[in-house]
Amino acid sequence: MTVDKLKMHSPDLTARNVERIAELFPQVITESRDAEGNVTLAVDFDLLRQELSDHVVEGPQERYQLDWPGKRAAAFAANAAIAKTLRPVREESVDFDTTKNLFIEGDNLDALKLLQESYLGKVKLIYIDPPYNTGNDFVYEDDFAESSADYLARSGQKSEAGDRLVANTEANGRFHSDWLSMMYSRLKLARGLLTDDGVLVAAIDDHEHANLRSLLDQVFGAENFLASVVWQGVGKNDARFTAGGLDYMLIYARNQSLLVANDVRWTEPKRGYDLVMNAAAAAWDKSRHDPARATSLFREWWRTKPDTEKGLSMYSEIDETGQPFRRSPVSSPNPRENLMFEVLHPLTGKPVPMPPNGWRYSRDSMAEKIKQNRIVFGKDEAATISSKTYLNEVEQQAIRPAFFQVRANASDALNKLLGVTAFDYPKDVGVLAKWIDAITSSDKETVILDFFAGSGSTAHAVMNLNSADQGNRRFILIQLDEALDDGSAARKRGYGTLADVARERLRRAGAQVKQAAGLLASDLDVGFRSFHVGTTNMADRLATADDLMQPALSDAVGSVKPDRTDEDLLFQVLLDWGLDLAEPTTVEEVSSRRVLSVADGALIACFADEVNDAVVKAIAARHPLRAVFKDSGFANDAARINAEQIFREVSPETEVRAI
C-alpha cells in the first residue's frame, strides 16, 4: 500500500471528455506529450473525423448553429481546471454540524467546477434567474486568455477579472456576446450536475429569450426542451406598443425520453378549488342536505363569477353525497360490438337511448356505476343519461404554462422580513414553490441548486415547501460577493454584499418557517453551511498543484498555507474525493491529536503537525473507508512507510491519502 497524493484542485473536464470519447471510439485515442513533457492521452482528430465521416461538417459549409465571438473561449473556461477550494465559515452558518443545505459565496463558475466531483449527477432541479441583459446590468467578466497550465501555475493569486462584474453596454461592442459567453460556460457545467431525470428552469426576459433558448438547445439538445412558461406581471398603460411586463421560464430536461418513460407528469391544484369546495359545503349545510335546494344555492353562488379556473364552473350540481359534480358523456368514441347493450331506466324499466357507437363502459362497469349512483338518469327512458365526475376526484390539473403574478408582492414580503429595502427584484417565493413542488413531488429527498442565488428566494421556497409537505429537499445556493452600493439602505444597515443579504434572509426565513411549523419543527432543516470560494489551501512553492502529486511525500513538506484550519483542509479533501459537503462531521481527540470524522467514520482525517504511530493505529483500528493525513505530519520517510504498514496489517481495505 502506498499513500497517494490528493490532487487538491477541481477536475480537468477536458480529460474527462477525452475519457468519454475513448469509451465510444478507443481506436482514436493516442499518446502525446504536454507542455511539461509528460506523456498524456490525446485524441487523433483525423481518425475521429474518419469515424464520423458521414456527419462531420467542416470548413465554410453552411450549418445550423448559434455562434458568437468568444464562444470557444467560454467552452475552454468551462473545461479548465482551477486550483481553488471552498472554505467553511462556521460563524456565518446555521446548524453547521447537522444541516444538509449549502450556501456558497463566490464566482459561480469557480463554484460549479468545485462541485463537479461531489454532486455529479445528483441535482434533481436547477432553478436560475441570471442577470438580465438590458445593457445597463452587469455580467460576470471571465478571464479566457490563459491556458489551463497557466491558470494552475498562478492558482494562489486573485484573478484580475474572475471576480469582477463589468457593465455590459452596447458601447462595449459585444452586447450579446459577453452575456452568452458568461452563460455558456456555466450551463455546460450545470448540466453535468443534473440527475438523469433532472430539470433546469431558467428565468429570462425578452432581451435574451431567443438567444438563451438557442443556447440551451445546444447545451441540452433541442429534443430536451419541455416548455417556455410565460409570467405576466403588471404592465405599463403608457407603453407604446404592448403593456409588456412579461418574463419567461425556459425549462429543459437532462433526458426528456426518460421522463416520458417514467410517466412523469407535472400537476398543480386547480385555481379556486378550495373556494368552490367551501361554497358547495356551505350550500349543502344551508339546504339541510337537500340535493335540489343545495344545487340551486350553489348555482346562485356561481352567478357571482368567483375568480377560479375556468373549467371549475362545470361542477355546478350537488348530489345526495353533498359533493359537487359535473355530467360527463357515456358514449364510446369508436364503435365496438361489446359496448352495445341495453341500459334500463331504474323507474320505468325500459331501455334508454343507446349512443350510435355504444357505451363508454362495458356491461359490468356500467352495472357497477349504476349501483354506485354514478349514472344520472332523466325522468323517464326518453332522456339521455350521463355519468358523474366529482370535483374532489380531479383536484389536480396539468400545470399551466402561463400565469399572472404581481412582482411587487415578492419585494414587499422581503422588505418586511429584513426590515429594509435590500433587493430590487427578488424572486417570488410562491411561484418558485409551485414549480419546485411540481418537479420534485415524486422525490422529496432531492437536491435543488440555484447558482444565481440573489436574495435567496429559492432556498426560502424550499424551506416553505418542506414545511408544507414534510419533505427533505436540500438546497445549494451560489452567490457572487457583489458589493452593495454605498448609499443603499442595506449598506447603511450593515450589509456589505448581496451574499450577506441572502444569508440574513435565510436565517430569518428559517426561524419564521420553524416557528410556524409548531410541533413539526423538529424535523425541518432550515440551516445551511456557509462556504467561500477561496484560493487553494496549498502554499505557493513555485509549482502547480499537479506538481504536488509526486510519490515522494517528503518533497512537499510545508505545502499547506499557514492560515488554513484543519476544517479548511477537510472540505478540500471532500471535494477532491467527490464526497458530499453536507455529510455530518465530528471532532474528537485521539492520542492527544485532533481528529475529524465524516459520516460516522466513513472518512477520518488527522492534519496534526506531528502524527505518531499511536494516532495511526487508533484510526486504522476503526476501519474507515478512507483516511487522510498531512504529509508534513510524518517526521520522515520511515514514519510514513510505517504508517502504510500499519494500515496494510490492521485495515487493508482503507484508502489512505496525504496532502
Nearest to 248 by CA among 80, 129, 137: 129
Using only C-alpha atoms, what is the Rg of the chain? 31
pLDDT of residue 250: 97
569 versus 179: which is more confidently predicted?
A: 569
The domain limits of the chain are: 1-57+537-659, 78-266+399-532, 273-394
Nearest to 495 by CA among 427, 429, 421, 410: 421
Cα distances (Å, whole numbers) of residue 240 to 51, 223, 381: 56, 37, 61
Give the distance, in angstroms, between the CA of residue 149 and the centroid of all CA atoms in the same chain: 31
Instruction: Quick: pLDDT tens for 600-643.
Output: 888 999 999 899 899 999 999 999 999 999 888 888 888 888 99
Return the axis-axis angle of helices 498-517 and 457-469, rounded to nearest 10°.
10
Q: What is the mean pLDDT of residues 495-510?
A: 93
Nearest to 330 by CA among 366, 306, 372: 366
Predicted confidence band of residue 48 (pLDDT cuts 50, 70, 90): confident
> Within 13 Å, how many C-alpha atoms sit on residue 167's CB side?
6
Predicted confidence band of residue 560 (pLDDT cuts 50, 70, 90): confident
d(CA 32, CA 42): 6
Instruction: Quick: pLDDT tens for 116-148.
Output: 999 999 999 999 999 876 655 555 666 544 444
d(CA 647, CA 604): 13
Please classify residue 284 by burial: count the beta carbons closer than 10 Å to its beta carbon, then call 0-12 exposed, 13-18 middle and 19+ buried: buried
d(CA 309, CA 402): 13
**What own/partner pairs with CB < 8 Å and gap ≥ 24 does 60-68 have?**
65/218, 66/180, 66/211, 66/214, 66/215, 66/217, 66/218, 68/176, 68/177, 68/180, 68/181
CATH code assigned to 78-266+399-532:
3.40.50.150
Instruction: Quick: pLDDT tens for 146-186.
Output: 444 554 443 333 334 444 455 555 444 446 788 898 999 99
SS (H, E, C) 564-608: CCHHHHHHHHHHHHCCCCCCCEEEEEECCEEEEEECCCCEEEECC
d(CA 422, CA 418): 8
Q: Per-residue DSSP letters for 119-146?
A: STT-EEEEEE-PPP-SSSSEEE----SS
d(CA 575, CA 119): 9
Nearest to 469 by CA among 435, 444, 447: 444
Please, what is the average pLDDT of the chain?
85
Strand partners, 630: none
Burial 120-136 (b: 16+ CB within 10 A, else e): eebbbbbbbbbbbbeee
Q: What is the mean pLDDT of residues 271-279?
A: 94
Q: Is the pLDDT of residue 446 over 80?
A: yes
Q: What is the mean pLDDT of residues 231-239?
A: 83
Q: What is the mean pLDDT of residues 340-364?
A: 94
- Which residues fall within 8 angstroms of residue 640, CB to CB, at 6 or more apart? 3, 553, 554, 631, 634, 658
- For 177-311, strand residue ranges (E) read 194-204, 225-232, 246-253, 267-269
263 versus 67: which is more confidently predicted?
A: 263
Cell of 309: 379556473
pLDDT of residue 54: 60
pTM: 0.81
Instruction: Quick: pLDDT tens for 381-436.
Output: 999 999 999 999 998 889 999 888 888 888 888 888 888 877 777 889 999 999 99
Amino acid, single-letter form, for residue 364: D
Q: What is the mean pLDDT of residues 500-520?
A: 93
Percentages helix, strand, coil for the chain (3-state, rounded to 5) are 35, 20, 40
In the three-class reduction of DSSP (H, G, I as helix; E, B as strand; rest coil), residue 256 is classed as helix
CB of 314 closer than 8 Å to CB of 397: no
Cell of 607: 492534519
d(CA 442, CA 281): 31
d(CA 445, CA 433): 15
- For 446-518, strand residue ranges (E) read 447-450, 474-479
Largest CA distance in the chain: 103
In the three-class reduction of DSSP (H, G, I as helix; E, B as strand; rest coil), residue 649 is classed as helix
CB of 82 closer than 8 Å to CB of 117: no
Cα distance between the two ends of the chain: 16
Q: Evaluate the CA torsion angle 289, 290, 291, 293 in order and state its sign.
A: negative
- Lowest-pLDDT choice from 9-18, 111-120, 131-140, 576-585: 131-140
Cα distances (Å, whole numbers) of residue 223 to 116, 227, 258: 25, 11, 12
d(CA 514, CA 354): 59
- Lowest-pLDDT choice from 259-263, 375-379, 424-428, 602-606: 424-428
Rounded to the nearest 10°, the torsion over CA 463, 465, 466, 471 is -140
Q: Per-residue DSSP letters for 367-393?
A: HHHHHTT-EE--SSTTSPPEEEEEGGG
Q: Per-residue DSSP letters for 532-565?
A: EEEE-SB---SS-TGGGG-S-GGGGTT-B-TT--
